[in-house]
């Protein structure tokens, strides 16, 4: 049995952060109902690397956080649509939404209205800046939060700064925080019988993901300079050129620094550096970096990676995404699961979860839903009569695939 089997989630979210939070509940067994407008589906349905999939509303930007959900198309601008939503609330355990602050309240679907129907509901709102403070009304996307939070300015180096982080890490980091908060609230409910209102902000999630630089900034009284892939004072914890590409060395402890030098054939330096403190090694950092780089340039990154890992030193050749996905290690972890979709003649695998269980663990719950594919099924499951569903479809309140 999966952890959330038997739980129902109403997913009123779109784009990335909210859908990813709901998706993480889905892969752990929850029945997630994705509720979209008939007029403006989730914009990510039409975005991605494959134009043909995007044209079908199954863009690669959509599928990776919506597979396994059931799709209900519901017009919340109509009173009948809002009434349907409140009936669905009666059988729901979680409601997840990422509308602008006040939007669902204006539609009669805010926390107070929902809790009046289902008092023990776990109601989670995701916004750019949260529901309090002077920026509560302001919109945001991942790069906007990168710019606002200090992340963009912390990325890059002196020659290229600020620098946007390419993948939408704020979105997925926020979604992970939301999934954790919802899971904790559901566990709390088993003890107290009470529901919960959760306020998640992308800007807050960004701060949580920068906990260490936040502490350094406060201690120094100023923002530390960006250093890119070369850690100041730590040549053994930096990126270096090799004969055919880059390698990142991860020697952080005294022992690892010593083993790194021994693997490079420098036993005398290894013994000397192992006896030094961090500050003493830092004074020799520039000399050591140049010496280390000359040695590393003599062999390939792959050769050094294997040699150093065998010596107990963390190190990895800098890979492109396609190279990383082709690694044998990736196939052993179960992070990716085969989907029903193909692109350019190849079957697509979707990210599922970053952890595994001995039993009842995360699994892809099903195919990627078409817009309105499960509308009738969801309403019939919720106790609507067939005639009621037909009338809702005929009026345009409910859409079907």
* Start-end of H helices in 31-118: 51-55, 60-63, 79-89, 103-106, 111-117
Read off φ and ψ for residue 127, nearest 5 degrees.
Answer: -140, 175
What is the distance between the alpha carbons of residues 291 and 272, in angstroms, rounded to a whole number?
A: 15
Task: Return the ∠ at Cα 198 (arms to 192 and 203), rounded to 5°.
Answer: 150
Domain boundaries of the chain, sorted by first residue: 8-209+335-399, 235-241+246-317
Does domain 235-241+246-317 fall under CATH 2.60.420? My reply is: no
Q: Does pLDDT of 278 surpass 90?
A: no
Mean pLDDT value across residues 272-278: 90
Q: Contact 401/378 with Cβ under 8 angstroms?
A: no
375-391 pLDDT, tens per residue? 999 999 999 999 999 99
Domain 8-209+335-399 and domain 235-241+246-317 have a common topology: no
What is the distance between the alpha carbons of residues 267 and 90, in angstroms, rounded to a whole number?
A: 70
Residues comprising the chain, all counted: 401
What is the distance between the alpha carbons of residues 95 and 357, in angstroms, rounded to a whole number?
A: 26
Neighbours of 101 (CB within 10 A): 19
What is the distance between the alpha carbons of residues 328 and 319, in angstroms, rounded to a whole number?
A: 14
Q: Contact 251/237 with Cβ under 8 angstroms?
A: yes
Helix (H, G, I), strand (E, B) or coil at 122: strand
Q: Does pLDDT of 395 surpass 90?
A: yes
Task: Return the ∠ at Cα 15 (arms to 14 and 16), rounded to 5°.
Answer: 110
Question: If residue 398 lies in a helix (H) or strand (E), which one and from where to where?
Answer: strand 398-399
What region does 349 belong to: left with phi over 0, alpha with psi -120 to 50, or beta? beta
User: Cis omega before residue 162 (within 30°)?
Assistant: yes
Mean pLDDT value across residues 248-258: 95
287-342 pLDDT, tens per residue? 999 999 999 999 999 999 999 999 999 999 999 999 999 999 999 999 999 999 99
Q: Does pLDDT of 15 surpass 90?
A: yes
Beta bridge partners of 34: 11, 71
- pLDDT recorded at residue 20: 98
144-200 pLDDT, tens per residue? 999 999 999 999 998 999 999 999 999 999 999 999 999 999 999 999 999 999 999
* Start-end of H helices in 193-327: 202-208, 211-220, 254-263, 267-274, 278-283, 285-296, 301-310, 321-325
End-to-end CA distance of the chain: 31
Mean pLDDT value across residues 204-216: 97
What is the separation of C-alpha 384 from the centre of its chain, rounded to a whole number of angstroms? Answer: 35
Does domain 8-209+335-399 fall under CATH 3.40.50.10540? My reply is: yes
What is the distance between the alpha carbons of residues 377 and 31, in angstroms, rounded to a whole number?
A: 13
Torsion of CA 246, 259, 267, 271, to 10 degrees: 130
% of the chain beyond a pLDDT of 70:
100
pLDDT band for 119, please (50, 70, 90 cuts). very high
68-94 pLDDT, tens per residue? 999 999 999 999 999 999 999 999 999
């Amino acid at each position: 049995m999966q952890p959330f089997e038997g739980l129902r989630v109403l997913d009123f979210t779109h784009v990335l952060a909210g859908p990813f939070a709901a998706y993480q509940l889905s892969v752990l067994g929850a029945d997630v109902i994705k509720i979209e407008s008939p007029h403006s589906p989730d914009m990510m349905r039409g975005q991605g690397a494959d134009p043909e999939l995007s044209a079908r509303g199954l863009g690669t930007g959509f599928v990776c956080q919506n597979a396994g959900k059931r799709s209900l198309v519901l017009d919340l601008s109509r009173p009948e649509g809002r009434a349907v939503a409140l009936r669905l609330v009666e059988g729901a355990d979680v409601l997840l939404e990422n509308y602008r602050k006040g939007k669902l309240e204006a539609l009669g679907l805010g926390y107070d209205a929902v809790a009046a129907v289902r008092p023990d509901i776990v109601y989670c709102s995701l916004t750019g800046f949260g529901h309090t403070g002077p920026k509560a009304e302001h919109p945001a996307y991942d790069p906007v939060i990168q710019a606002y939070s200090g992340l963009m300015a912390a990325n890059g180096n002196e020659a290229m700064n600020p620098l946007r982080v390419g993948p939408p890490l704020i979105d997925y980091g926020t979604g992970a925080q939301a999934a954790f908060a919802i899971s904790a609230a559901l566990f709390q409910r088993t003890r107290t019988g009470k529901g919960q209102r959760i306020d998640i902000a992308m800007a807050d999630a960004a701060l949580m993901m920068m906990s260490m630089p936040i502490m350094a900034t406060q201690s120094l009284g100023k923002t530390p300079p960006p250093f890119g892939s070369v850690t100041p004072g730590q040549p053994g914890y930096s990126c270096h050129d090799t004969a055919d590409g880059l390698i990142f060395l991860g020697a952080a402890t005294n022992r690892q620094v010593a083993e790194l030098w021994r693997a490079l054939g420098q036993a005398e330096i290894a013994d000397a550096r192992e006896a030094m403190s961090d500050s003493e090694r830092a004074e020799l950092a520039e000399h050591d970096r140049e010496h280390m780089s000359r040695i590393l340039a003599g062999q390939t990154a792959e050769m050094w990676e294997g040699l150093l890992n065998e010596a107990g030193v963390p190190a990895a050749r800098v890979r492109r995404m396609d190279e990383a996905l082709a690694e044998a290690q990736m196939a052993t972890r179960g992070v990716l699961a085969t989907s029903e979709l193909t692109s350019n003649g190849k079957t697509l695998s979707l990210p599922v979860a970053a952890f595994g269980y001995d039993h009842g663990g995360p699994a892809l719950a099903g195919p990627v839903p078409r817009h309105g594919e499960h509308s009738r099924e969801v309403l019939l499951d919720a106790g609507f009569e067939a005639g009621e569903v037909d009338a809702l479809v005929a009026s345009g309140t409910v859409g079907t695939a």
